[in-house]
Amino acid sequence: MVLEYLANGLVFSSIIVLGSIGLSLVYSIADFANFAHGDTMTVGAYAALVTFGAVGGLGGAVLGLPYGFFLALLVGIAAAAVVAVATEKLVYESIDTDSIGLLITSIGIAFIYRAVIQIRFGADFTRFGVGTLRPIEWLIPYGIRVTQHDVAIVVSAVVLVTGLHVLLQYTDLGRKMRAMADNPDLARVSGIRTRRVTLWMWVIGAGLAGAGGVFLGLFNQLSPRMGFNLLLVIFAAVILGGIGSVYGAMLGGFLIGMINQMMPLVSDLTDALPLVPSVGIEYANAVAFLIMVAVLLVRPNGIAGEAT
Amino acid sequence: MSDAPDADGDADAADAGAADVAEPTHPGETVLALSEVDSGYGEVQVLDDLSLHLDAGEIVCLVGPNGAGKSTVLKTAFGMLEPWTGTVTYHGREIGGMAPEEIVREGIGYVPQTDNVFGSLSIDENLRMGGVAREEGLDDVIARLYERFPILDEKRGAKARTLSGGQRQVLAFARALVMEPDVLLIDEPSAGLAPNTADDVFENVQQVNDMDTAILMVEQNVTKGLDIADRGYVLDQGTVRFEGTGEELLADDEVSELYLGG
């Protein structure tokens, strides 16, 4: 049973990590909390849905997913990146305001994204037409009931996060991004063309969010509120890890995702203990936030504690 | 830096590496000049009709009371503040209002007073960030800087935040030197350092000057600053009150009494 919760936690954490990285990147470089980030995930998911509808039957399959799904994933990543960059150029960059003003603006942008999606696709839940898979047979005796789709989510997330790590540590762009997150004024003084780096940050952060949205739709289902509903959990992950730190966001996303999916265990535990009120799985987000607050009381800057 | 010109990444892309090596200078040639400059922060004027110049190979020290506008001179020269009126010229070319990331490419370096290294990056990465505008020769110039500043070589993989104050100042100089500027603007290099460490920093300033880099330096430690300077300017209320060689300013009773603490 514990192994199954851990496996589900790993899948959900993969999605939260992808969302958290983008939010943290935007915070560290653009210096505001982007409340449209969850809806950027939704944009990616729906762009992939449309693409998959057009190319769904393309070629063979990997881990139970047709090649067309991976093409749709790339389109979802690209669409989220394009929408985010367009928003940055047309809105955030044009507005002469501080980080609070940008935060409020981003709430408005989130409403706009959601409204456009709802007008086009309606408010109902929908799914990718990839079929439902049986759990992987050889894992069932160990009490783990995960499908090949779940494995695909984890593997894809690991590939994307590893790619980001390589980019940050071993490329000029990555070093510039880390330098800007560390000290934007010194970055300009050093000759870094900060606007270009900021645009790349939007591309990467929103692209990862788009991927997270696609996987969230695969893990669960799609709806216009899917990203928004996850936003507070992603914020919790980013703050827990250390706001502004990409690696902290990865760690925070992993922990929050795990905590969320381990809730049935906590529920069983509280049911079994006398004098302790039962904590149902519907309180998963509350427990995640409680743990976040507890960690912040001990480490006010989050687990990672410093910029990227 | 809120008043800084835009960091327009698209500007002059073709010129990106054009100034990898700063223009050749000749002894006595004026490399940097501010003429009749007014400048400030937002609505607050700090510099008032200020004029000064820096010649090739010189060390020029700006001194004066707090709030005199010393650091504002550097920020205006380096594009972090746009001059309201007047001109800033480099080799006779107007650079007033140009963005800092473009001024770096022209051949001017800047070492801020505080937060002058990327703390979360390694020493090697800090130096590479100093050379982002170079198109070639980056590894060679960094190798030469390691030779010149062996303390950096010893710790090249260490995060900059682990360095002592004096070591950070050395790294800040080295970062600015990766572009091989012919002008370096240094804001209070000895601020917050222990006296013996400050002496080392002044020695480094002279070393940098020996590399044919003209230096315009703001310094609170007036005696030390003017001692190593070829010339100095005494600023008060945003304008130049006195100028002369370091020796002349240190020996001037009026300057000493009014501005240099007796």
Radius of gyration of chain B (CA): 18
Let me know: does B161 contact B94? Beta carbons within 8 Å.
no
Terminal CA-CA length for chain A: 36
Q: Which residue has 């994204």 as its token pair?
A: A113
Residue-level pLDDT at B22: 52
* Average pLDDT estimate for A203-222: 96
- C-alpha to C-alpha distance for B196 and B175, rounded to whole angstroms: 23
**pTM beyond cutoff 0.95:** no
Residue B242 lies in a domain: yes
- Determine the residue type at B45: Q
CB contact under 8 Å between B9 and A306, yes or no, is no
Residue-level pLDDT at A141: 82
- C-alpha to C-alpha distance for B179 and A213, rounded to whole angstroms: 43
Q: Is the dihedral of CA B94, B97, B101, B102 positive or negative?
A: negative
Residue B6 lies in a domain: no
Let me know: does B184 contact B130? Beta carbons within 8 Å.
no
| Residue B17 touches partner A, C-beta closer than 8 Å | no
CB contact under 8 Å between B129 and A199, yes or no, is no
Phi, psi of A153 (to 5 degrees): -65, -45
B42 three-class SS:
coil
- Kindly report, residue by residue over A239-274, the tens digit of the pLDDT: 999 887 889 999 999 999 998 888 888 888 888 888
Let me know the angle formed at the C-alpha of B94 by B177 and B107, rounded to the nearest 5 degrees. Answer: 15
Let me know: does B149 contact B174? Beta carbons within 8 Å.
yes
- Kindly report, residue by residue over A38-66, the tens digit of the pLDDT: 999 999 999 999 999 998 777 788 888 99
- C-alpha to C-alpha distance for A293 and A297, rounded to whole angstroms: 6
Residue-level pLDDT at A62: 86
Q: Is the dihedral of CA A19, A24, A25, A26 positive or negative?
A: positive
Tokens of B215: 């230096």
Q: Which helix (H) or strand (E) holds A258?
A: helix A246-261
- C-alpha to C-alpha distance for B241 and B68, rounded to whole angstroms: 10
CB contact under 8 Å between B78 and A189, yes or no, is yes
- Kindly report, residue by residue over A171-190, the tens digit of the pLDDT: 999 999 999 999 999 999 99
List the domain range (segments joined by +) for residue A215: 2-225
DSSP secondary structure code for residue B54 in this structure = E
Let me know the angle formed at the C-alpha of A212 by A105 and A21, rounded to the nearest 5 degrees. Answer: 65
The arrangement of strands across the sheet holding B214-218 comes to B108-111, B183-187, B214-218, B59-63, B231-236, B239-245
Helices A37-55 & A2-30, crossing angle to 10 degrees?
110
Q: Of A119, A118, A73, whose CA–CA distance to A225 is shortest?
A: A118
List the domain range (segments joined by +) for residue B125: 25-259
| Residue A194 touches partner B, C-beta closer than 8 Å | yes
Radius of gyration of chain A (CA): 19
Helices A37-55 & A226-241, crossing angle to 10 degrees?
130
pLDDT band at A277 (very low <50, low <70, confident <90, very high): confident
Let me know: does A19 contact A36? Beta carbons within 8 Å.
no
| Residue B117 touches partner A, C-beta closer than 8 Å | yes
Let me know the angle formed at the C-alpha of B191 by B188 and B194, rounded to the nearest 5 degrees. Answer: 140
Residue B118 lies in a domain: yes
Domain with residue B214: its CATH number is 3.40.50.300
Average pLDDT, chain A: 91
Q: Which residues of B touch A193 (CB under 8 A)?
A: 7-9, 101
Structural domain count, chain B: 1
Q: Which residues of B touch A188 (CB under 8 A)?
A: 1, 4, 7, 99-101
Phi, psi of B85 (to 5 degrees): -140, 170
* Candidates B104, B117, B129, partner chain A, best to mutate (most A CBs within 10 A): B129
Pairing type for strands B85-90 and B93-94 reads antiparallel
Let me know: does A10 contact A17? Beta carbons within 8 Å.
no
| Residue B100 touches partner A, C-beta closer than 8 Å | yes
CB contact under 8 Å between A187 and B4, yes or no, is no
Residue-level pLDDT at B26: 62
Tokens of A209: 């969010």
Contacts within 8 Å (CB) and 24+ apart, A284-290: A284/A259, A284/A260, A285/A232, A285/A233, A285/A236, A285/A260, A287/A259, A287/A263, A288/A233, A288/A236, A288/A256, A288/A259, A288/A260, A289/A232, A289/A236
Residue B196 lies in a domain: yes
Q: Which residue has 């230096």 as its token pair?
A: B215
Give the nearest partner residue to B9 out of A181, A183, A195, using CB atoms.
Answer: A195
Ordered mean pLDDT values, 10 residues apiece, chain B (262 residues): 45 39 64 96 94 95 92 96 96 93 94 92 96 90 92 94 91 92 93 82 89 92 91 94 91 79 58
- C-alpha to C-alpha distance for B15 and B29, rounded to whole angstroms: 24
Let me know: does B232 contact B61? Beta carbons within 8 Å.
yes
Comparing A215-229, A248-262, A291-305, B50-64, the range with the smallest average pLDDT is: A291-305
Residue B8 lies in a domain: no
In whole angstroms, what separates CA A206 from the centre of its chain? 9
Structural domain count, chain A: 1
- Ranges assigned E (strand) in chain A: 61-62, 65-66
